[in-house]
Homo-oligomer: A and B are copies of this chain.
Amino acid sequence: MTAAIHDTADPGQRKHARGQRTRAIILDRAARIAIAEGLEGLSIGRLADDLGMSKSGLFAHFGSKEGLQIATVAFSRDRFKREVIDQVAGHVPSPGLSRLWALANAYLERVEQNAARGGCFLYNVSAEFDARPGAVRDAVAASLSAWLDALEANVRAAVVNGELAPGTDIRLLTFELSALLFAANRHSLLLDDNNAFDMARRAAAQLLRRVMTNEEPLELPSFPAN
């Protein structure tokens, strides 16, 4: 992909690719600030200082603090989709119980890896914006819904596949599973509880086994090291 961009003779296209890379660098930094200090901790001035860029350049990108907050939420959501949801789908080709279990584990691994910088973006901004009506809250709610939808689609597929019992309450199981995953974030970060990920994994496995139609162990696909 990078090679293709460099090979192109079109200067407009090169400029666009450079702009996209700059935008990604800015939003990656913005997401790190938001995880640690909240989306309210984000301001164009603060971000310009952090990155050694001009405020006017950042204004040109995002227009306002709210624009920057919304772009940061969208960036984190896209990255999570690419690095977790699509990644798992690449290794577990069909929806169902295995993909659901892989998704849950991929979420926990990611939070564990990102613990030092504040854990899960979605967990943090969900709590921050739940009572502040407006476009930022709408973007956060859409991100949460997208994650719940990804889990729910696989719960539903698992029922259709006959891996989970017919009559399983699909929404309730999704609610329970997501609750455990977010709780791992809470306990590991705030209580420095290193068992939190293991507790969430065991609880999620118990939850699924209660409605699984056979006794086979829940197994993870082997992911290539990256």
User: Could you tell me which A residues sit within 8 Å of B by CB distance?
Assistant: 35-38, 40-41, 117-119, 123-124, 126-132, 137, 140-141, 144-145, 169, 171-172, 175-176, 178-180, 182-183, 185-187, 189-191, 195-196, 199-200, 202-203, 206, 210
Contacts and interface: CB of A to CB of B under 8 A. Distances in A.
25 contacts: A36-B132, A38-B128, A117-B131, A123-B127, A124-B128, A126-B127, A126-B186, A127-B127, A127-B186, A128-B128, A129-B190, A144-B191, A145-B191, A169-B202, A171-B195, A171-B199, A172-B202, A175-B183, A175-B187, A175-B196, A176-B180, A179-B180, A179-B203, A182-B186, A210-B210
B40 A37 contact: yes
A130 B182 contact: no
Contacts of A210: 206, 210
A137 B141 CA distance: 26
A180 B186 CA distance: 13
Contacts of A179: 179-180, 182-183, 203
Given A119-B131, A140-B190, A176-B183, 8 more contacts: A117-B131, A118-B130, A118-B131, A119-B130, A124-B127, A171-B199, A172-B202, A182-B186
Contacts of A190: 126, 129-130, 137, 140-141, 144
B172 A183 contact: no
Nearest to A210: B210
Contacts of A126: 127, 186, 190
A117 B132 CA distance: 10
Given A179-B183, A183-B178, A183-B179, A189 B131 contact: yes
Nearest to A116: B131
A139 to B, nearest CB: 11
A-B pairs with lowest CB-CB distance, top 9: A127-B127, A179-B183, A118-B131, A130-B189, A130-B190, A179-B179, A175-B199, A36-B131, A176-B203
